[in-house]
């Protein structure tokens, strides 16, 4: 994300895209209780007319929570942080006629963005920032960032992103087109990405779950590790 204007230091990460979605204008804090650091991290967000969000990776203190509330941020339901041993991911199957693939072309990258945008209800510009269109497409077996999808009749209908770093396999952007839900596609595009990671020697898969995906990830073998506090500001 550095090429997209992000700021990162030992205490926080911040990116401002200008997209009309909280996750498009985001600060992620590493320390739960330093109000001065929080003020520094979120100050540019307060100048925006677009929604913004603040996340904490190690919990949040009452003092910081109160400070953010005073700045106009509302605490929302925390996101479950989950993990699984990649060797024990539950088996999954695709319906007849569906195909799992690794995104390897510009055309597939564009389709991947469209699936993530529609599946999550995101502005396409925000989905594109994490997509093959911006991040590039690599077909190297051990690439740090790998994009996957599921096709039906030649059209991409589900998507996921695998990020390999620090010995962990991170799963992101798991999305299915609304009309294709209920077929196990989200589970399969998650599980297959983790099986790729396992073959590369990554023993633990991690993700942050939405409410809709929580039961799916539980069935795959994921268990709760922690929760990620989240605050959202919606300018009037």
Choose the weakest-confidence range: 4-13, 77-86, 218-227: 4-13
Q: Verify that 140 and 35 share a domain, yes or no.
A: no
Cβ burial of 209 (10 Å; 0-12, 13-18, 19+) is buried
Each residue of 155-199: pLDDT tens digit? 999 999 999 999 999 999 999 999 999 999 999 999 999 999 999
Note the pTM of the prediction, 2 decimals.
0.92
What percent of the chain has pLDDT above 70? 98
- Residues 55 and 30: their CA atoms lie apart, in Å, by 9
Range of the domain at 169: 90-220
Look at residues 218, 234, 164 and name the one whose alpha carbon lies nearest to residue 196. 164
Element (H, E) at 90: none
203 inside domain: yes
Retrieve residue 106's tokens. 């510009």
pLDDT of 71 strictly over 90:
yes
Q: Verify that 53 and 102 share a domain, yes or no.
A: no
85 inside domain: no
Q: How confident is the model at residue 4 (pLDDT cuts 50, 70, 90)?
A: low
59 inside domain: yes
pLDDT of residue 31: 85
Q: Verify that 6 and 58 share a domain, yes or no.
A: yes
Q: Verify that 113 and 190 share a domain, yes or no.
A: yes
- Residue 178 DSSP label: G
Q: Verify that 206 and 104 share a domain, yes or no.
A: yes
Q: Verify that 47 and 96 share a domain, yes or no.
A: no
Q: How many CB atoms lie within 10 A of CB 173?
A: 22
Each residue of 18-68: pLDDT tens digit? 999 999 999 999 989 899 999 999 999 999 999 999 999 989 999 999 999
Element (H, E) at 133: helix 132-135
Q: Verify that 152 and 118 share a domain, yes or no.
A: yes
Number of domains in the chain: 2
């Amino acid at each position: 994300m550095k090429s997209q204007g992000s700021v990162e230091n030992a205490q926080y990460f911040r990116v401002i895209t200008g997209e009309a979605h909280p996750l498009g204008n985001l600060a992620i804090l590493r320390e739960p209780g330093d109000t001065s650091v929080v003020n520094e991290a979120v100050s540019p967000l307060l100048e925006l007319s677009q929604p913004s969000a603040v996340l904490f990776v190690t919990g949040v203190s009452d003092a910081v929570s109160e400070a953010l509330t005073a700045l106009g941020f509302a605490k929302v339901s925390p996101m479950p942080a989950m993990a699984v041993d990649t060797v024990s991911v539950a088996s999954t199957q695709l319906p007849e006629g569906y195909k799992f693939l690794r995104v390897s072309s510009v055309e597939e990258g564009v389709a991947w963005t469209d699936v993530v945008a529609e599946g999550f209800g995101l502005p396409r510009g925000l989905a594109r920032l994490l997509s093959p269109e911006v991040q590039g497409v690599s077909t190297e077996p051990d690439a740090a960032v790998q994009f996957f999808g599921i096709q039906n009749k030649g059209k991409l209908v589900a998507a996921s992103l695998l990020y390999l770093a620090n010995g962990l396999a991170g799963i992101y952007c798991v999305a299915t087109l609304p009309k294709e839900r209920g077929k196990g596609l989200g589970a399969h595009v998650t599980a297959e990405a983790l099986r790729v990671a396992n073959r590369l020697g990554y023993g633990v898969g991690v993700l942050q779950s939405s409410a809709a995906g929580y039961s799916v990830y539980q069935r795959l073998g994921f268990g709760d590790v922690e929760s990620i506090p989240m605050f959202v500001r919606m300018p009037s």
